[in-house]
Structure 1
Amino acid sequence: MEFFDLGTIIFLVAAVVIFIQLRNVLGRRTGNERPPFDPYTAGRGKREPAPASQDNVVSLPRRKSSETADESYAAIDKVAAPGTDVNKGLRAIRDADPSFEPVGFVDGAKMAYEMIVMAYADGDRKTLKNLLSREVYDGFVQAISEREQRNEKIQSSFVGIDKAEIVGAEMKGSEAHVTLRIVSELISATRNNAGEVIDGDPETVAEVKDVWTFARDTKSKDPNWKLVATEAED
């Protein structure tokens, strides 16, 4: 039977000591650790789940107790000067929905804008239905149907958005409304049944200026905004 030599015993003792030290430094899992960082969801507004006993109550995230009013409105003041009607409207929306962030909203609206413009050109009713209010959807679908009856097709290529800024904001009851002025570049041409261009130019990039209003019910579980009004700027 082989016995441990002195060197082996010293090594084992050292290993035990190191293990105990690491345990003291790293600690144990208590269940209160921060969740892993997710780069795809970081920065998004988060909602607190409603208590299990209140299934019909939507719990909006509350302002941190250590956060002052000025800190809560800091992101709003960066996009709209304090004291202006736009700033007041955005603050009212923030009060109704503390997860609202104007910069994140504009980014989402820009993506929705492109999707809506291209879906309209393609006659994609399914996509439009998810992004538009009923009234706006009905108007878009009517225009698409009339175009189809004339056997016309729109050939479009979305180049990009040059500018998107919030120009209006207000609460209407529990519904938040935000209006943006969007300047985009688009290549668009309408062709008849013979393939002839009857409107637009398939070779020219045109500047398009729109004023669109998006809305959502701050008391709804649905976090998505929908387009509720459109206006072309001259």
Structure 2
Amino acid sequence: MYAALRKLTPFFLVFFTLAFADVGLAVLDAEARSRSGGRSFKRSAPSAPRSAPASGATARPSNSGFGRGLAGGLIGGALGGLLLGSLFGANGSGIGILPILLLGVAGYFFYRRFMMAKPSSGLSAYQPLSSFSRSAPPPPPHTDPLEDGLAELRSADPDFDPQHFTEVASDVFFKVQAGWMRRDLSSFRHLLGSSLAEEYGQHFADMTQKGIINKLESISVRKAKIVEAGSVNGEDFVTLLFTANLLDYTVDEKSGQVLEGSMTEPVKFAEKWTWARPVNTEAWLLEGVELAD
């Protein structure tokens, strides 16, 4: 059936070419008149690039080749009619026999040119695109943000030792927890940045007013490791992730009654503690504490 359609295609092509020739003239003439009025345009989004076939595959001729040939024939017929109708039509109107024959010949030429062409055995049109994609530069090598941050610290402080810093930070961790339980900011105020010290002072004042004490007992640090480091806006910073177990409960300071939490069931928590210092100094201060995700 497909072979039969291929044989009839030239006749269909000539028929549609002749049928639409006068219509093409009418459309072109109407469009020329419409330019005197306003027209609105809507800009369309750019079309996505067509992906190339897999490497090594031979590209087949596009099934839309016949459609392109037909469209080319219709446009060529319309333009040909526009030019030749005024020269060879009867009294300057319509299309004469010579333009009709020329349109038919042109239509058949386009059919032979685009429909009957055999694909060559050489490189396909899409293979250069595949070659280009294969020659794209490799992605940049992966870098460790933590190592980059530590390198920034060492650029101004070659003696910075992450292990020693972690040990000292762990001591501060226990000192802060003990001061929190006593509601005693003075015991560790010198270790805090101004913003954090102010927040802790407000917490202690609130607990004192309510007459409650937050007990933190049997603290066991399971892991303490540096997770972030670097320099920003003239300050070095280091963030440690603490993972720990402890008994965390709140009691009434007068009666000792447990108001919240448990005296026997430990809880697990993970917090990020961040220290900062001005570059080229040793004035490390605890600037922030937050729950880890």
Normalising by the smaller structure, the TM-score range is: 0.5 to 0.7
Shift of 1:102: 0.6
- In structure 2, how many angstroms separate the alpha carbons of the residues matched to 1:93 and 1:158? 35
CA displacement 1:104-152 (0-9 Å, x = unmatched): 1111111111111111111121123111100001001100110000000
Residues paired across the two proteins, number: 151
Partner of 2:195: 135
CA displacement 1:133-183 (0-9 Å, x = unmatched): 000010011001100000001222242210011111110233110111110
Mapped pair 1:227 → 2:286: yes
Mapped pair 1:165 → 2:225: yes
Choose between structure 1 and 2: higher helix proportion.
Answer: 2
- In structure 2, how many angstroms separate the alpha carbons of the residues matched to 1:115 and 1:158? 14
Structure 2: segments with no counterpart, 5+ residues = 1-141
- In structure 1, how many angstroms separate the alpha carbons of the residues matched to 2:246 and 2:238? 24
- In structure 2, how many angstroms separate the alpha carbons of the residues matched to 1:227 and 1:218? 15
CA displacement 1:28-55 (0-9 Å, x = unmatched): xxxxxxxxxxxxxxxxxxxxxxxxxxxx
Partner of 1:69: none
When normalised by structure 1's length, the TM-score is 0.61
Q: Which has the larger radius of gyration?
A: 2
Shift of 1:224: 4.3
Q: Secondary structure at the match of 2:280?
A: coil
- In structure 1, how many angstroms separate the alpha carbons of the residues matched to 2:267 and 2:279? 36
CA contact (8 A) 1:159 1:184 kept: yes
Partner of 2:208: 148
Letter of the 2:155 partner, please give it: D
Letter of the 2:275 partner, please give it: F
Partner of 2:239: 179
Taking only the aligned residue pairs, the percentage that are identical comes to: 25
Q: How does 1:14-33 map to 2 (within 5 A)?
A: none
When normalised by structure 2's length, the TM-score is 0.49
CA contact (8 A) 1:128 1:137 kept: no
Q: How does 1:69-108 map to 2 (within 5 A)?
A: 83-108=143-168
Q: How does 1:194-205 map to 2 (within 5 A)?
A: 194-205=255-266
Instruction: Select 1:207's aligned residue among 253, 268, 278.
Output: 268
- In structure 1, how many angstroms separate the alpha carbons of the residues matched to 2:218 and 2:279? 31
Choose between structure 1 and 2: higher strand proportion.
Answer: 1
- In structure 2, how many angstroms separate the alpha carbons of the residues matched to 1:180 and 1:156? 20
CA contact (8 A) 1:176 1:216 kept: yes
CA contact (8 A) 1:187 1:204 kept: yes
- In structure 1, how many angstroms separate the alpha carbons of the residues matched to 2:285 and 2:260? 29
- Runs of 4+ in structure 1 deviating by more than 4 angstroms, as ranges, are none
Q: Secondary structure at the match of 1:215?
A: strand
CA contact (8 A) 1:187 1:203 kept: yes
Mapped pair 1:217 → 2:278: yes
Letter of the 1:174 partner, please give it: G
Q: Secondary structure at the match of 2:143?
A: coil
Structure 1: segments with no counterpart, 5+ residues = 1-81
Q: 1:205 to 1:228 in 2, by over 3 A?
A: same
Letter of the 1:214 partner, please give it: W
Two-structure CA RMSD over aligned residues (Å)? 1.6
Relative contact order, CA 8 A, sep 6+: which one is greater?
Answer: 1
- In structure 2, how many angstroms separate the alpha carbons of the residues matched to 1:112 and 1:158? 16
Mapped pair 1:121 → 2:181: yes
Letter of the 2:229 partner, please give it: A
